[in-house]
Chain A
């Protein structure tokens, strides 16, 4: 009996040595700064979908909670400071960055503001959780700026794979007049070429009446001008007018992009691959549905956590190397997430969704790639304009 007890005690001690458990005495903090500069909110026609005040931040909060559950067993915790600034207040953002020693910074602001902040700072790792801008992953890339939000190109490629597979390849496009609409339209054009297609016909969005009253009268006229086509693409990043196109077109045709078939990094309709659990954790914490910016913030901090665990809390340069070199992050989208080592973009499946269901998860079956099928979405290594990662 005493012998048995002794061997049990020995087993316990070995257990403690072999595993870092209950290590409350050598508690380690991993500091994160969430830096937000408000983006100008564009007036849109419908009042149905206000942008949540805590968009992005709620995802980061969930990741901190998730990480700290692991941290509770392993003797570390994530500590996040949030700085929320008014539109255009780059100066305070710079001051906040200087005043913080957090090695990991989530950037919730415009692409231009990100570049301006990232330049000239050392020994930090930044995550873009807010901008789809392709130039940030291309000619304007920065070696310390990683992107967990997908790019316009990734979203456009996902849609193109879908129409190609469906053989709905006679395409029309209506583009809104926001700068973001032009960027997404450009990505759609580029993607169509990549997959050997092109837009047969195209119109700018010019109507400015109250479509909530007149969509049934105005939209048929506009779309009649497009002639015949299989699918109507809409570049309307703020979902200003796109929601009024479906069922109001001249011909009976599906709408893609905008408010039709949407291509996103995350949507409330994702429920496969364990996503239901993530959705319900998020909803419990924030009282609303998870959106792609929330997911990008969540994924960034989950990646940082995973990198610390797998490298035994290595210095930041090794964390960056691990993120770009070997991470396999579980992200509830059916495939492991990792980062492209040529531009810092997180590889991820892109969901094609409508209001109440996931239609497909790109990359679609049959779109092969020599290295990783996920690299059939967005700027691939040979075509990348980014040179900052060529160390």
Chain B
């Protein structure tokens, strides 16, 4: 009887937990997705997914999570409500990162082993096009107006500008060695591209693809070779950019008006990617080598907690629940 009330109380609590915002993290080497409660900063769920999950993103209504299961050669679709994978999209070989068109329908996928970008219709599950790009495509972004898709290729060292009408490349911008990530500003006027081995982030003017700025990083006591920019995230009003600096174990805070680095935040080991809490007060970073997620308080730029997740956490994405 007593146990029953306990159980009842527990059940009563469960939906309440569902109202907290969440951060979803892909764990590259344990083939799982961890879900972190933004309020309690605890892992509340873990899902088994395909092999080597890396890039993840939500559908615009947050009902579905798309997962690049790199070694399964597919993009999996996880139904958030049901908590299970409902189908797999054809993705081309070795999908690493992807971006969703603002129409919510088309996925642009970088196929790392194949030097192509694959365009998939998430409704019909058909491949619409494959576009030849440079060697080891990785970073993906779609402009907010939906007209341009960016693929960065790591060995070709370029950002390819793809016209989404014709699915053909209309410009190529050379960047520093090993570009990993591309991110448009909210108004679409600028594109940020990180270069891991070059150690820099380049900012381009979308209108004419000219380079506006190149940002370098310098952390006291850290050898420059270890400063390797990967993930780039812009805050809600786009006043600040956060750049994950890989094995330097720091995240740089950059003023987007002056391109000055304002601060370096110490996080876990080999920081890859990041996601903001939906209220914009915290930044969650995936730390590949230490196998955890650092929570950074953005008021003080200090890591306030590290949360153990699976092996080699890679991608991170927020899910607002209200």
Residues of chain A at the chain B interface (Cβ within 8 Å): 11-12, 14-16, 18-22, 66, 69-70, 72-74, 274, 277, 280-281, 302, 306, 309, 328-330, 334-336, 372-374
Q: Beyond A69-B134, A334-B247, A336-B197, is A15–B178 a contact (Cβ under 8 Å)?
A: no
Q: Beyond A19-B172, A274-B154, is A70–B134 a contact (Cβ under 8 Å)?
A: yes
Q: List 10 A-B contacts (CB under 8 A).
A: A11-B208, A16-B170, A19-B171, A66-B156, A69-B135, A70-B158, A274-B154, A302-B155, A328-B176, A336-B199
State which of B113, B171, B178, B226 has its C-beta within 8 Å of the C-beta of A280. Answer: B113
Residue B2 lies at the interface, judged by CB distance under 8 Å to chain A? no
What DSSP secondary structure best describes chain B's contact surface?
Answer: loop
Chain B residues within 8 Å of A274, by CB: 136, 154, 178
- Can you name 14 extra interface pairs (CB under 8 A) apart from A74-B172, A281-B135? A14-B208, A16-B170, A19-B172, A69-B134, A69-B156, A70-B155, A70-B157, A70-B158, A302-B155, A329-B177, A330-B154, A335-B226, A372-B225, A373-B225
Minimum CB distance partner of A15 in chain B: B171
Chain B residues within 8 Å of A374, by CB: 225
Is B197's CB under 8 angstroms from A328's CB? yes
Residue B90 lies at the interface, judged by CB distance under 8 Å to chain A? no
Residues of chain B at the chain A interface (Cβ within 8 Å): 112-113, 115, 132, 134-136, 153-158, 160-161, 169-174, 176-178, 196-199, 207-210, 223, 225-226, 247
- The minimal Cβ–Cβ distance linking B189 to chain A, given in whole angstroms, is 13
Is A21's CB under 8 angstroms from B170's CB? yes
State which of B135, B160, B174, B198 has its C-beta within 8 Å of the C-beta of A309. Answer: B174
- The minimal Cβ–Cβ distance linking B31 to chain A, given in whole angstroms, is 16
Chain B residues within 8 Å of A336, by CB: 177, 197-199, 225
A15 to B197, alpha carbons, bound, how many Å? 26
Is A66's CB under 8 angstroms from B155's CB? yes
- The minimal Cβ–Cβ distance linking B268 to chain A, given in whole angstroms, is 17
- The minimal Cβ–Cβ distance linking A367 to chain B, given in whole angstroms, is 11
A248 to B170, alpha carbons, bound, how many Å? 63
Ranked 5 nearest A-B pairs via Cβ: A330-B197, A15-B171, A330-B177, A330-B178, A70-B156
Q: Beyond A69-B135, A73-B172, is A11–B207 a contact (Cβ under 8 Å)?
A: yes
What DSSP secondary structure best describes chain A's contact surface?
Answer: helix
- The minimal Cβ–Cβ distance linking B211 to chain A, given in whole angstroms, is 9
Chain A residues within 8 Å of B161, by CB: 15
Is A15's CB under 8 angstroms from B136's CB? no
A20 to B199, alpha carbons, bound, how many Å? 24
Q: Beyond A16-B171, A73-B172, A309-B157, is A281–B208 a contact (Cβ under 8 Å)?
A: no
A4 to B309, alpha carbons, bound, how many Å? 49
Q: Beyond A73-B156, A329-B177, is A335–B225 a contact (Cβ under 8 Å)?
A: yes
Chain A residues within 8 Å of B247, by CB: 334
- The minimal Cβ–Cβ distance linking B80 to chain A, given in whole angstroms, is 31
Minimum CB distance partner of A333 in chain B: B197
Chain A residues within 8 Å of B132, by CB: 72
A277 to B112, alpha carbons, bound, how many Å? 8
Minimum CB distance partner of B177 in chain A: A330
Q: Beyond A11-B208, A15-B209, A280-B113, is A21–B156 a contact (Cβ under 8 Å)?
A: no
Minimum CB distance partner of B163 in chain A: A12
A69 to B156, alpha carbons, bound, how many Å? 7
Q: Beyond A281-B113, A334-B247, A336-B225, is A328–B198 a contact (Cβ under 8 Å)?
A: yes
Minimum CB distance partner of B160 in chain A: A73
Chain B residues within 8 Å of A69, by CB: 115, 134-135, 153, 155-156
A21 to B115, alpha carbons, bound, how many Å? 17
Chain B residues within 8 Å of A372, by CB: 225
Is A66's CB under 8 angstroms from B135's CB? yes
Chain A residues within 8 Å of B158, by CB: 70, 73
Minimum CB distance partner of B155 in chain A: A66
State which of B136, B156, B173, B177 has its C-beta within 8 Å of the C-beta of A277. Answer: B136
A73 to B210, alpha carbons, bound, how many Å? 17
- The minimal Cβ–Cβ distance linking B77 to chain A, given in whole angstroms, is 25
Chain B residues within 8 Å of A302, by CB: 155
Chain B residues within 8 Å of A328, by CB: 176-177, 197-199
Minimum CB distance partner of B138 in chain A: A274
- The minimal Cβ–Cβ distance linking A27 to chain B, given in whole angstroms, is 16
Chain B residues within 8 Å of A334, by CB: 247
Q: Which of B113, B177, B196, B197 has the most CB of A within 10 A?
A: B197
Chain A residues within 8 Å of B135, by CB: 66, 69-70, 281
A74 to B173, alpha carbons, bound, how many Å? 10
Chain B residues within 8 Å of A12, by CB: 170
State which of A18, A66, A306, A373 has its C-beta within 8 Å of the C-beta of B171. Answer: A18
A381 to B155, alpha carbons, bound, how many Å? 30
Chain B residues within 8 Å of A329, by CB: 177, 197
